[in-house]
């Protein structure tokens, strides 16, 4: 995970201080890319311990097309709760806990018809299933793309998608790679989750399609460090990285939605203690 630490250091040393929508303020750069060879280990941050259950549960929640926090609460995960309060949901005419057309909706029901009560028909595009079907029938396609950014619906949620588009690539030796474009990255709190989540997604799609894994390429637009995270970032940069762990997924699978967090684990994950920091909402 040296690539992540290099980005953290770069932003601290060369980023510009800017205002942001939360009022906290950020130090930011624009345009950065990292590459992780998934065959050499799982890119879970080791300079601070990650809450892996939250990462696994959130990704599987997305893949099921779920957009209500109750699906996360089933696994005692509350990372989306700040945006699911009664006050936030009421801004869009939704009940508490209903996050609206966020990632799961866009991935599994893109462009669906919205009903008068604010819910959606199941008549949209299932982008995830389309990806799996295309990989199985035309693996060298250059159209293995999923978009989470729907301009029509981006203003109908409290937190529009930060990771906005990803593309898969199948090599001739049957290894699956993924490149993500992320418009906005909270480097200290969010980015380690994003890296691990998309690495896991690549593994899950590869397993579903009987492929090996190649690279995860992470391209970022606005890479920023909140100004109230500078002390924590300095502490993290003082720590020595540990060897990367190995991802283990228990088969068999019949569908991308059949996975549960209990089937996913990291072997030999050793990390420095967690570093607490406040989320900017």
Q: Give pLDDT, residue 256.
A: 85
Token readout for 5 is: 């630490």
Per-residue pLDDT, 259: 84
Which pLDDT does position 1 carry in this prediction? 85
Residue 234 CA, distance from chain mean position: 24
Q: What pLDDT is stored for residue 252 in this prediction?
A: 67
Active site residues: 162
Tell which phi-psi region holds residue 164, choosing left (phi > 0), alpha (psi between -120 and 50) or beta. Answer: alpha
CATH of domain 2-49+127-267: 3.30.572.10
Looking at residue 261, its pLDDT comes to 87
- What burial letters (b/e) apply to 12-31, b meaning 16+ CB within 10 Å? beebeeeeeeeeeebbbbee
Q: What confidence score (pLDDT) does residue 106 get?
A: 98
DSSP state of 252: -
Where along the chain do its domains lie? 2-49+127-267
pLDDT digits (tens, 9 = 90+) for 160-180: 999 999 999 999 999 999 999
Low-confidence ranges of the chain (pLDDT < 50): none
């Amino acid at each position: 995970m040296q690539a992540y630490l290099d980005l953290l250091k770069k932003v601290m040393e060369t980023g510009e201080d800017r205002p942001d929508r939360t009022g906290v303020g950020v130090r930011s750069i624009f345009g950065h890319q990292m590459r992780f060879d998934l065959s050499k280990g799982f890119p879970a941050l080791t300079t601070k311990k990650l809450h892996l259950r939250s990462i696994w549960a959130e990704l599987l929640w997305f893949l099921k097309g779920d957009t209500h926090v109750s699906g996360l609460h089933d696994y005692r995960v509350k990372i989306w709760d700040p945006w699911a309060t009664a006050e936030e949901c009421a801004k869009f005419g939704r009940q508490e806990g209903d996050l609206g057309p966020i990632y799961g909706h866009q991935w599994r029901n893109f462009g669906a018809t919205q009903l008068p009560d604010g819910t959606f028909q199941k008549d949209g595009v299932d982008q995830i299933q389309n990806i799996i079907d295309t990989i199985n029938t035309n693996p060298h396609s250059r159209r293995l793309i999923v978009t989470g950014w729907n301009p029509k619906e981006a203003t109908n949620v409290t937190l529009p998608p930060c990771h906005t588009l990803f593309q898969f690539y199948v090599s001739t030796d049957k290894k699956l790679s993924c490149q993500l474009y992320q418009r906005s990255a909270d480097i200290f709190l969010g980015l380690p989750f994003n890296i691990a989540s998309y690495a896991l997604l690549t593994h899950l799609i590869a397993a579903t399609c009987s492929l090996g894994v190649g690279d995860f390429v992470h391209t970022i637009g606005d890479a920023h460090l909140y100004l109230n995270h500078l002390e924590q970032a300095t502490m993290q940069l003082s720590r020595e990285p540990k060897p990367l762990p190995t991802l283990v997924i228990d088969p068999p699978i019949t569908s991308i939605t059949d996975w549960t967090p209990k089937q996913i684990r990291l072997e030999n994950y050793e990390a420095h203690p967690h570093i607490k920091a406040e989320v900017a909402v």
